[in-house]
Amino acid sequence: MDFFKYIHAVGTGVKGNRDLSFDESKDLMKQMLDRSVPNEQIAAFLLGWRLKPETTTEFRGVVEASEAYVKKSRVENSLELGYPFDGKVNNPYIFPLVAKVLEDSKLNLILVGDKLTPAKGGITVKDICTNMPLNKNAYYFDRAEFFKEMSDLTEIRMNLGLRTGLNTIEKLPNVADSEYAITGVFHKPFVQKYVEIYSDKYKRFALIQGNEGTPELFSKGRLWICNNKDVEEIIVDPEHYGINYTKSWDAITLQESLQQIEDPSDEFIKLAKLNAAIYLFVVQRASSIDEGWEMLQ
């Protein structure tokens, strides 16, 4: 279909806008990834789509189109961690420490990174993974190598300077063909959206009210476990495990983030163990987070 019809569908205002079908969404995403339309039209669609706003059906179509471009490298016994590509601003990443805690369990953590996307302007997973050695059970995949077409849209998105629907669907490309996945979520209404988009793509799928939208728990929050379409909500409080970590509200530099990972405080190490226990529960190595916690002591 003529791409302008998609712009018209999302960019003519409340009375003129309409939701796109699954097949239309697949087609428009393919056209964007193939760069068969001008950059200005891609930017116009992404802005209008965000304001319309997006539907779950549209997200599913875009995800299905994207899957055809991803060059997969299977990693057995793996958990895909869905991080936002706009990074973390105020706190260090904890996944390098979580990987160390999980080394004996032989659970592999899958990390995906790329250049910074809008709109937070934080430190990215790529910044961490390319500036420090990772444990052998932490696998880093650069999107520029396995999904270049999506990576090449970054410049347009940065010029636009705003979050778009791509921020929602890009975190879980399943490059390692993982059976399990967990991603961070800011707002509870998005839990159901993610469940409808991804629940049939993994053996078990989870979401967590993680720090700065990541799958990393730093303070009391909710974990949602999805088994098929059934969703179980669990409250997780670090204080229950004797953890008294105080997260930061001030911006940190990449060097400060790396330093806190390389020379962690006792509380940060305990927090890493709690996140590891959560991951063991997600991949069904533990029947509960409490059991996972005990396994790691």
Backbone angles phi, psi at 108, to 5 degrees: -95, 135
Q: Which residue from 269, 267, 253 is spatially nearest to 97, judged by alpha carbons?
A: 269
Backbone angles phi, psi at 140, to 5 degrees: -100, 130
Token couple for 148: 């270049």
Q: What is the pLDDT of residue 227?
A: 82
Q: What is the pLDDT of residue 189?
A: 82
SS3 of 224, please? strand
In one letter, which amino acid is 262? E
109 near 103, Cβ under 8 Å?
no
Q: Which residue from 127, 103, 92, 89 is spatially nearest to 279, judged by alpha carbons?
A: 103
Omega before 119 within 30 of 0, i.e. cis: yes
Which domains can be identified in the chain, with CATH numbers?
3-67 (1.20.970.10), 78-295 (3.40.1030.10)
Q: What is the pLDDT of residue 255?
A: 97
pLDDT tens, per residue, the chain with 297 residues: 899 999 999 999 988 999 999 999 999 999 999 999 999 999 999 999 999 999 999 999 999 999 999 999 999 999 999 999 999 999 999 999 999 999 999 999 999 999 999 999 999 999 999 999 999 999 999 999 999 999 999 999 999 999 999 999 999 999 999 999 999 998 788 899 999 999 999 999 999 999 999 999 999 999 999 987 789 999 999 999 999 999 989 999 999 999 999 999 999 999 999 999 999 999 999 999 999 999 999
Give the dihedral of Cα atoms 207, 62, 129, 208; nearest 10 deg.
Answer: -10
DSSP-derived pairing of the beta strands 204-208 and 221-227: antiparallel
Q: How many residues does the chain have?
A: 297
Q: Rounded distance, CA 135 to CA 114, Å?
A: 20
User: Which residue is it, tokens 């019809």?
Assistant: 5
CB atoms closer than 10 angstroms to residue 132:
13
Q: What is the pLDDT of residue 213?
A: 95
Q: Rounded distance, CA 129 to CA 272, Å?
A: 17
In one letter, which amino acid is 156? I
DSSP-derived pairing of the beta strands 138-142 and 180-184: unpaired
Distances (CA, A) of 225 to 162, 204, 290: 30, 8, 15
